[in-house]
Structure 1
Amino acid sequence: MEAVTDMSESGKYEAFMKRIEDGDKIEMDDWMPDEYRTVLIKLISMHGISEIMGALPEKEWVPKAPGLGRKLGIMAKVQDEMGHGQLLLRVSEDLMKPLGRNRADIMDDLFEERLKFHNVFHMRTHTWADAGLIGWLVDGAAIITQTNMLGASYGPYARALKRICAEEVFHAQHGESIIMALAEGSPEQRKMLQDAIDRWWPSLLMFFGPESKDTTGSSKQDATIKYQIRTKTNEELRQSFLSKYVPRIHSLGLTIPDDTLRFDEATKKWEYRQPDWKEFKQIIGNEGPKSQDRLNLRRAAYENNAWVREALEA
C-alpha cells in the first residue's frame, strides 16, 4: 500500500479512492477524507442507537409473552439487540476519537434529539402479533439493508455486520415462528395478525427511507454508495423487500393494505402506494406515537446507571 503521509490532500484522496475501488478495507487508523469519516459516524451511530431503541418495543412484551418458551425467546432477542447496539457504538466511538468525541457524546446527541433512530421503533405495539411482526418483517427488512453492507469499505463495520447479520437471521426466524402460530390459530388470532400488518405496512415501506432524487452526490445515501459502504439505493432495497415478503404474506392468506400494489412485468419492479413521507419526517423527528416515552426510558436508564460508568472510570 502506498504511503499517504507526505502526499497533498488531493493525492491522499486519490490514493484513498483507489484503495476502495481495488476492494481494500479501510481501517480505523488509516487516513480517510473528512466526508467519509462523517458519513460513517452518522450511519453507524444511527444503526447502533436503532438497535438499542429497537429492543424497547419487544422488551415491553417479555412479561406478556404467551408461555415460558416465548418469554425466553423474546428475552434472548432483546439481549442480542442490545449487544448489537453496544458493538456498533464502539465502532462509531473509534471513528470519533480523532475528533475529540466519545460514546457519551453519542448518548448526548440522542437525548438532545440530534441523533435519529429508525422510524419503526417510534411506533406503538398493540398486540402480541405486533411483536411477532417486528421479528419477521422489521428484522427481515433490516437483514436486507445490512447484508447490502457486508462488503462495506470500512473494515470494522463490515466485520461487525457479519456477526450481527448472522444473529438477525435467528431473530427473523423467531418472528416467523410467532407469525405462523397466529396464522394457523383461531379466527381471533388471524384477525390480530391481519390488524398488525394493516398497522405496520406504511412503516415497513418507510424503513428504507425515501427514494433519492439527488444526482449530485451530496446526499448521505449517495455518499454511502460513492464510498462503497453500500451498493444499493433505498428504492432498490425496498424493491428487494417487496419481492421477498409480498408472496410470503399472501401465502398465509393475509392481505396487504394497498390496492395499488402490483408487480410490473415490463419494468420488473413493484408499483405501490407511497407512504406519507411528511409523516416519516415527523416520526424520525421524535414526534411518533412512542418517541418521547422511549427516549425518556433511555434517559432514565442512562442516568440511573451513571454510577457504573463512574466506577469504571475510577
Structure 2
Amino acid sequence: MYIYGGASAADHEKDTEKHTVFMKRIEAGEKIEADDWMPDEYRNALIKLISMHGISEIMGALPEKEWVPKAPSLKRKLGIMAKVQDEMGHGQLLLRVAEDLIKPYGKNRENIMQDLLNGKLKFHNVFHMPTKTWADAGIVGWLVDGAAIISQTNMLDASYGPYQRALQRICQEEVFHAQHGESIIMALAEGSNKQRDMLQEALDRWWSSLLMFFGPASATTTGSSKQEITTKYRIRKSSNEELRQAFLDKYLPRIFSLGLTVPDETIHYDEANKRWEYKQPDWNEFKKIISNNGPCSKQRLRLRDIAYENNRWVRQALAPQAVVS
C-alpha cells in the first residue's frame, strides 16, 4: 500500500526544483496541507505513519474493551468505557487524515482497513498483548498511554498541518487517559497485598513491551530508516532511543516510589552519560509480534474483521448513491 507514485525521467528535473522549494517551506516552519505538492517519499512516510497510528488507536481499544463489563465498580466501568470511546474517535480522526493522503492514488479508508485485515498494515506491538487482570487496565492507561504521550508530543509541531492539528486534540485527551490509568495503579498500590502482587505481576509482564514501544534504536533495514526520513522532513524531532530515555526518566522514579520493581537487574542511571542503561528487549520477538504473531494478534484481528463486516450495512447506507439515468 505504501509505495506510490514516483516521477518519470522527464519529470525528474521539475520535481527536483519542487523539492527544493518544498524543503525551504519546511525549514521556514510552514505547514504542508493535503492539496500541496509533496515528494513521494514524504507522502509515503506520512501514509505509513498516520495509517499505523490510526489503526493502532482502534486496535488499542480492544484489550481495554474486554474490561468494561469486568471493571470492579460502576465508576471504573464508566471511566474505561469513556476511554474506549475516545480511542475509537482518535482512530477515525486519524484515518480521515490518512485518507486525504491516499486519495490521489484512488484509495480510501476501505483500503486502509483491508490492508490491516490482510496483514499489510501493522499495528502497535503493545496491542497484540493480553490483558489478564484489572491491573493490566491500569498499566495500559498509565504506562502505555504515557509512552504514547511522549511519542505524540514529539510530533506536535509536525510539518504536515492536518496531522499536527489532529495531534493537538489527541494529546490533550491522552493526558486524561494517563490520569485514568494512574488512578487505577494508585488504588492497587495502596490496596491489599493481593492487589499489590497483582500490580507487580502485571508490570513484570508488560515491561518488555513498554521498552519495545518506541521501536529499535537504529535502522534494521537497508536504505534510509523511518527515523531518518521523518526527522529529515520535520515530522518528528527525537529518535526512538531519545524517546525511550524520556519515558524512563519520567516513569522509573514513579514506579520505584510505589515500591514496585522492574524485571531487569541491570537497569541503572549512568551519571556520566546522563542516561538509563537497561537490558535490551528481544527485537526478534518484536518483529514477530508486529507481524501478527503475538499472543493475541489473531484474536484481535478476528474481532476487528467481524465488527467491520457486521457494520458494512452502515457504510453502504451512508455512501453516495449511484445516479440512475
TM interval, shorter chain, is: over 0.9
Q: CA deviation at 1:220?
A: 1.2
Q: TM-score, normalised by structure 1?
A: 0.97
* Structure 2, unpaired ranges of 5+: 1-12
In structure 2, the partner of 1:4 is none
* Partner secondary structure for residue 84 of structure 2: helix
Q: CA deviation at 1:221?
A: 1.5
Instruction: Kindly indicate whether residue 181 of structure 2 is the aligned counterpart of residue 171 of structure 1.
Output: no
Kept after mapping to 1: 8 A contact 2:61/2:88: yes
Q: Which consecutive aligned stretches of 4+ in structure 1 deviate over 3 angstroms post-superposition? A: 213-217
* Partner secondary structure for residue 72 of structure 2: coil
Which residue of the other structure, out of 286, 296, 314, is the alignment partner of 2:302? 296
Q: CA deviation at 1:107?
A: 0.5
In structure 1, the partner of 2:71 is 65
Q: In the aligned structure 2, how far is the partner of 1:109 from the partner of 1:289?
A: 21
Q: In the aligned structure 1, how far is the partner of 2:34 from the partner of 2:15?
A: 19
Kept after mapping to 2: 8 A contact 1:44/1:91: yes
Q: CA deviation at 1:252?
A: 0.2
Amino acid at match of 1:299: D
* Partner secondary structure for residue 191 of structure 2: coil
In structure 1, the partner of 2:140 is 134
Which residue of the other structure, out of 258, 263, 269, is the alignment partner of 1:263? 269
Q: CA deviation at 1:117?
A: 0.4
* Partner secondary structure for residue 86 of structure 2: helix
Q: In the aligned structure 2, how far is the partner of 1:213 from the partner of 1:219?
A: 5
Amino acid at match of 2:67: W
In structure 2, the partner of 1:200 is 206
Q: In the aligned structure 2, how far is the partner of 1:159 from the partner of 1:302?
A: 28
Kept after mapping to 2: 8 A contact 1:217/1:223: no
In structure 2, the partner of 1:153 is 159
Which residue of the other structure, out of 87, 111, 121, is the alignment partner of 1:81? 87
- Could you give the per-residue CA deviations for residues 199-243 of structure 1, whole angstroms, max 9, x where no partner exists? 000000000000114799711111000100000000000000000
Kept after mapping to 1: 8 A contact 2:219/2:225: no
The alignment yields a C-alpha RMSD, in angstroms, of 1.3
Q: In the aligned structure 2, how far is the partner of 1:292 from the partner of 1:221?
A: 28
Amino acid at match of 2:137: A
* Structure 1, unpaired ranges of 5+: 1-6
Q: In the aligned structure 2, how far is the partner of 1:59 from the partner of 1:150?
A: 28
- Could you give the per-residue CA deviations for residues 7-39 of structure 1, whole angstroms, max 9, x where no partner exists? 821110000000000000000000000010000
In structure 2, the partner of 1:108 is 114
* Partner secondary structure for residue 201 of structure 2: helix
In structure 2, the partner of 1:223 is 229
* Partner secondary structure for residue 120 of structure 2: coil
- Could you give the per-residue CA deviations for residues 36-66 of structure 1, whole angstroms, max 9, x where no partner exists? 0000000000000000000000000000000
Which residue of the other structure, out of 166, 182, 188, is the alignment partner of 1:182? 188
- Could you give the per-residue CA deviations for residues 258-309 of structure 1, whole angstroms, max 9, x where no partner exists? 0010110111111000000000000000000000000000000000100001
* Partner secondary structure for residue 8 of structure 1: helix
Amino acid at match of 1:182: L
Q: In the aligned structure 1, how far is the partner of 2:218 from the partner of 2:113?
A: 29
* Partner secondary structure for residue 269 of structure 2: strand
* Partner secondary structure for residue 158 of structure 2: coil
**Change beyond 3 A, Cα 1:178–1:84:** same
